[in-house]
Amino acid sequence: MAEAVGCPPDRLTDLGGYLDELDSAPAELAAIGRHLGRGLAGLVNLLNPQIIVLGGYLRSLYRWVDRDVHAEMAVRGLPVSGMQPRIVLPKLGDQSVLIGASEVAFRGLLDDPVRCLSGAQRTADLKVG
């Protein structure tokens, strides 16, 4: 994929940016879209999610291969009525993975700040005393 979009091997962390800057999709991306669709179909068959969120460089790739992804999922997915998941892109852009990880790390604090902070105070007292 990196080669197809002109991303040098030492800049793979910037792959999403290279995909975002394309004016049109190189033909090689269609095969990658089919592979992505095949993988997603397997996950859907196994886990039956209602929604699939494509983040990271997949967010940038998806606009170029959405038809290939859906076509492969239609061929490989189990034909269960009403069980087609929606594929969405994160609204937080390139930072969505980092923000999501932060939310997981701070889930206790966000869910119940009083209990979380009171527990932190007791822990601090134990270390001092």
Residue range 96-106, pLDDT digits in tens: 667 777 888 88
Asked if the model's pLDDT at residue 122 lies above 60, the reply is no
Q: Residue 11, SS3? A: helix
The rounded distance, in Å, linking the Cα atoms of 116 and 63 is 41
Asked if the model's pLDDT at residue 79 lies above 60, the reply is yes
Q: What tokens were used for 47?
A: 């886990």
CB 51, CB 88: distance < 8 Å:
yes
| Single-letter amino acid, residue 101 | A
pLDDT at residue 123, rounded to an integer: 54
The rounded distance, in Å, linking the Cα atoms of 72 and 36 is 8
Q: What tokens were used for 119?
A: 């527990």
